[in-house]
Structure 1
Amino acid sequence: MRIRATVAAVSGALAISTFALPAAHAADSADSFRADVAKVLQAAHAASGKTAFSSSADAEPQPYPLDATFSNFKIAKAIKVGTTADVSTKVTYTMTHGADVDITADDFLTAPFIYRGDFDNLDTPALFGDNPATCTATSATIATCTGLITAHPGQGELSNSEAGTWKGAALAIAFNGQDPTSDTFDITKVGYTEKGDLGSTLVQRNSRLTVNATPEPVNKGKTITVVGKLSRANWEDNKYHGYSTQPVQLQFRKKGSSTYTTLKTIKTSTTGDLKTTTTATVDGYYRYAFAGTSTTPAVNATGDFVDVQ
């Protein structure tokens, strides 16, 4: 689930004025979670100034600052996102809260999220999960929490320029009996807190790499031509396209061995294609290997066996 601010008059720690939600794809609980969090976030950041809970006279009614904070945020080093399939990544973190905060209440929730750019930037995009985190109390004021971050690339949540480093954050909301769907909903009786810069991860455009070595079989000492293609996910048209001018290694593994050695490094063409030659010596497997970048994960092609006669 993605969030992005769209109203320029609003600013704040996440500066979220509205959810940019994908089409319904989950259970009603997920839709309810999104709507409830959206309403509180909108109110928390609908204030003049750079932070939530502004005391400015012209500020709109807001939730009160909830006595809770977050630490020990752990997430995978990288999240590989393709073109259509949803991708979920587990997040764990510690929540420390005041003794007066009832985290076991049915209407209390906490959730991790990741964001790109400045936590104080109005236009910061963020990715949540489809449901709140689950927490286990380890003391009267400390709990360990586990949640998911879910990307829905098939629903236009990501743009290609957003591949790279995202930062970790978490929030908590205590509704205290207030029903966000009610006409009598009183946001000032709801507690809210958030914290950014808890960690980081790479959200990457998934990569693919192919190889084909010919002829097969080949006489010893003759030339082998090895072709292939490096491509990566395009989040804007939901297809894979060639990754141009990238260094890729041609590697060889002798039959009976488990180790590949690098023969040479070449670059992909403007369309991501690869082509080079080598001399046939012994039976073995040829593959291309890409080391990856901050926006695109490393990938190895499946070795192609050549019988040398």
Structure 2
Amino acid sequence: MFIRSAAVTLSGALVLSALAATAAEADAGQGDTTIVGVVVNGGKAVVVGATAKKTFKLSITTSDDSGIKDAYGWVYHGSFDLPDGSAGPGSDTPLACTPASGSATTVTCVADITVDPNADLINAHAGTWHVWTSVDANDSDYVNLDDASTFTMKRAATLTADASPEPVAKGKTLTVKGTLKRANWDNLTTGGYAGQKVRLQFRKAGTATFTTVKTVTSGTGGALKATAKATADGYWRFSYAGNGTTGAADALVDYVDVR
């Protein structure tokens, strides 16, 4: 079974060392202890900006006929044997566990995990991350899973949109310009993101739904430019759906008066 040291916390290089040291004991177990489910950040991707820390929840639901004594978990990037990034409470700090739906044998164990672009992340870390967990039951049954689940960590994106002329005559051409940028964890800045499909969207005044007018591709420095015919008063914006390493983003709307 996984052996925990006497340290109070475990992070950074110490976490990586512990993961490598316990690789031989991965996916071990005894008895009927099971992992029922693992949820990270409510099932959504973890999107992190260029400098601000991001805190999200790791939730592990586990069961044993004798009840659960304690549970541990952290998240890592790369392989379990040779992870290149990690975060979490560590192997010595148990998750907070409470009965699941009134059950005495099934509990949900939760921890807040914080990642800091200044210390924990580089651009290569964007993409798939993994969850390690170890659970002990009251009757000494246990389970260790080196890859209990996966989730996505993404670089945050930002968008701008500026429509002109304002006001505009009905039926005339409106030009919308903007910029798509995303967080750069390597240098802790935000830079232009070229080569991405971005939707120009319009919402008529008095309505609640945006309609995609056309799709354009971001150019050098993430520059965006699109034209459309002005037909009614309303709100214009650019919208980016994101990809496997970058989060979605919507620009602040720009209202245009059509006369």
Aligned to 1:146: 110
Paired residue secondary structure (2:114): strand
**Per-residue CA distance 1:247-279 (angstroms, 9 max, x = gap):** 011111111111111111110012101012222
2:87 to 109, 127, 136: 127
Structure 1 residue aligned with 2:9: 33
Q: Which has the higher strand share?
A: 2
Shift, 1:282, TM fit? 1.3
Q: Alpha-carbon deviations, 1:99-141, whole Å to 9, x = none?
A: 5x983xxxxx63322222333x324432214864101256665
- TM-score normalised by the chain length of structure 2: 0.79
Distance in structure 2 (CA, Å) of the matches to 1:39 and 1:300: 36
Cα-Cα RMSD? 3.3
Q: What corresponds to 2:201 in structure 1? A: 251
Indicate how the Cα distance of structure 1 residues 215 and 32 shifts in structure 2: closer, same or farther if over 3 A, else same. Answer: same
Structure 1: gaps (5+ residues): 1-12, 14-30, 54-63, 104-108, 175-190
1:202 Cα deviation (Å)?
A: 1.0
Compute the TM-score of the two structures, normalised by the length of structure 1.
0.68
In 2, the alpha carbon distance for the partners of 1:289 and 1:215 equals 21
> What does 1:1-309 align with in structure 2 at a 5 Å threshold?
32-34=8-10, 38=14, 42=18, 45-46=20-21, 51-52=24-25, 70-75=35-40, 76-96=43-63, 103=69, 110-119=71-80, 121-129=81-89, 132-137=94-99, 142-153=106-117, 155-172=118-135, 194-309=144-259
Tell which structure's C-alpha radius of gyration is larger.
1
The 8 Å contact of residues 9 and 89 in structure 2, kept in 1 or not, is answered as no
Amino acid at match of 1:113: W
Kept in 2: contact 1:156–1:236 (CA 8 A): no
Is 2:85–2:120's contact at 8 Å kept on the other side of the alignment?
A: no
Alpha-carbon distance between aligned partners in 2 of 1:208 and 1:46, rounded to the nearest angstrom: 40
SS in 2 for 1:158: coil
Secondary structure of the structure 2 residue equivalent to 1:72:
strand
1:41 deviates by 6.4
| Alpha carbons 2:20, 2:82 under 8 Å: kept | no
Question: Does the C-alpha gap of structure 1 residues 38 and 171 become closer, same or farther in structure 2, counting only changes over 3 Å?
Answer: farther
Counterpart secondary structure, 2:36? strand
Q: Number of aligned residue pairs: give it.
A: 242
Q: Return closer, same or farther for 1:199/1:77 CA change in 2, 3 Å cut-off.
A: farther
State the 1:85 CA deviation: 1.8
One-letter amino acid matched to 1:73: V
For 2:46 and 2:76, locate their aligned partners in 1 and report how far apart those are by CA, in whole Å. 13
Identical positions, percent: 37
Question: Deviation at 1:80?
Answer: 0.7
Which is worse superposed, 191-200 or 264-273?
A: 191-200
Code of the residue aligned with 1:86 in structure 2: it is: K
